[in-house]
Amino acid sequence: MELATTLQYATDPRAAADEVAGWERAGLDAIWVAEAYGFDSPTIMGYLAARTERAKIGSAILNVYSRTPALIAQTAAGLDAVSGGRAILGLGASGPQVVEGWHGRPYDRPLGRTRETVELCRRILRREVIDHHGISDMPLPADKGGGRGKPLKILTRPVRPSVPVYIAALGPANTEATAQIADGWLPAFVIPEKLQDVWGASLAKGRAGRSAELGPLQIVAGGLLAIGDDAAAYRDLARPQLALYIGGMGSRRKNFYNDLARAYGYEKAAERIQDLYLAGRKAEAAAAVPDELCELTTLCGPAGYVRDRVEAFRAAGVTMLNVHPVGPEPARQLETVKTWL
């Protein structure tokens, strides 16, 4: 397994990037940069490219609505150039709350848009001529500029003709498509012992139609990391984020993370967390997150216990362990985990 971490949303980006760049010396193989509705990730990824030498730099994630496929491909090519071929393009559909509420774009055809973006990005990076007539936008009428498009290929020559594409997916259809067309998969809040129960059928269907040229599907998963005799207490730091996603990252009608908690078997807890969070009782929602869910989605405890959790992720098929060190001496903790991979 490779070792990775993700820059968090709310931290000062320069300070966080500088700290994570230092972790590269501790053996970090990849750095993921979140976006959502905070700072844009390409800006920070470019800064990281200048502050690091070896680690891969990935977006986690760029949604497929707020940027055109061509712009996403240009961004991937630019990041790959300034990083010397270390870019990973993390994509996803995000959700209607962000796409419609923040970006003002209709949240429609997420699966088709994702497929289209992956296909066009790969074609653009191969410097194919693009005459875009995809599903992302309605054709322009003649009196609004329609019919004046010109087939083009990317002006600059990409460092690599292919940048790895990883897709964030949770639902059955999106997970199946990811296993079929992506280089890697970015699931959220993974309980390794339940990965096959929740996603196994979708992964198998997708892999059945997967091109051999893509190689094996890479899987990125992990959680909070704290190693020490008293480190189990750090699991509680996962509660606010779990409550945010299970309770508030969506509506009552559709919340992918709430659906995941239910698929894990926490139906009553998922309902209560959502009720509390949407009522504005965020602290109570965090307190309602089951202890077991906090434990199984993190790697916090004595060294032997954490090593067993690492092995559980490996046994589940995870190829990149994505951790966020929260205990003392984060670089030392990463060095320790690196010796186990």
Task: Measure Cα distances from 295 to 5, 24, 235, 236 in Å.
Answer: 19, 27, 6, 9
pTM of this structure: 0.94
How distant, in Å, are the alpha carbons of 110, 237, 260 from that of 123?
Answer: 20, 42, 33
Query: Which pLDDT tens digits describe the chain residue by residue (341 residues)?
Result: 999 999 877 678 889 888 988 899 999 999 999 998 889 999 999 999 999 999 999 999 999 999 999 999 999 999 999 999 999 999 999 988 899 999 999 999 999 999 999 999 999 999 999 887 666 554 545 555 556 678 899 999 999 999 999 999 999 999 999 999 999 999 999 999 999 999 999 999 999 999 999 999 999 999 999 999 999 999 999 999 999 999 998 788 889 999 999 999 999 999 999 999 999 999 999 999 999 999 999 999 999 999 999 999 999 999 999 999 998 899 999 999 999 99
Determine the residue type at 119: E
| Domain range annotation of the chain | 2-223+303-340
Peptide bond into 154 cis (omega under 30): no
In the CATH scheme, what is the homologous superfamily, with its name and number, of domain 2-223+303-340?
Luciferase-like domain (3.20.20.30)
Q: Say which amino acid occupies 247.
A: G
